[in-house]
Amino acid sequence: MEDCIFCKIVAGEIPCHKVYEDELVLAFLDISQVTPGHTLVIPKQHVTDIFAYEDDLAGQVFARIPKIARAMEQAFPDMKGLNIVNNNRPLAYQSVFHSHFHLIPRYHKEDGFGLTFTNHQADYDAESLGQIASKLSNQLS
Ligand code: AMP
Ligand code: ZN
């Protein structure tokens, strides 16, 4: 896609530090290196975000991630954990609109990496959770 920085990386028009490549997927170092080894996994084909995936391609992209995760573990013996992050649309912090999965190795609790989930369990009961689940499941049946 024209004007897509990640399509330009796939086409070799912009350089990257390649980690893995096959016919469907490219993995390369994220320029921001939130932690050492921070890698992006992308489909070579332009897909804007999670909402736009064909099911098969989504499966094929994700199928590569455990292999890359295990390679990280081998390459970085100090790595003690791994966050996989996928931002979709600007409100959710997507800034490059070619789908990508961040693989962020974790070495310490203080890695300059913040991810907090607020627990609102006390605001819900079985009935309200049931209503929410029904809204979703009705769309999936
Ligand atoms: P997101 O905010 O989830 O859309 O993440 C986009 C990521 O792409 C950011 O972490 C950027 O550091 C990264 N990025 C942008 N341009 C490049 C580039 N030319 N090479 C490598 N990573 C890039
Ligand atoms: Zn693209």
CATH number at residue 31: 3.30.428.10
Query: How confident is residue 68, by pLDDT bands cut at 50, 70 and 90?
Result: very high
> Is 50 in a helix, a strand, or coil?
helix
Q: Rounded distance, CA 17 to CA 2, Å?
A: 22
pTM above 0.85, yes or no: yes
pLDDT of 1 > 90? The answer is no
Token digits of residue 135: 């809204």
* Catalytic residue from among 100, 102, 108, 120: 100
Range of the domain at 35: 5-140
Predicted pLDDT at 112 = 81
For ligand 1, atom 3, which residue shows the shortest CA distance? 94
Geometric angle at alpha carbon 40, from 97 and 36, rounded to 5°: 135
Ligand nearest to the CA of 96: 1
For the chain, how many structural domains are there in total?
1
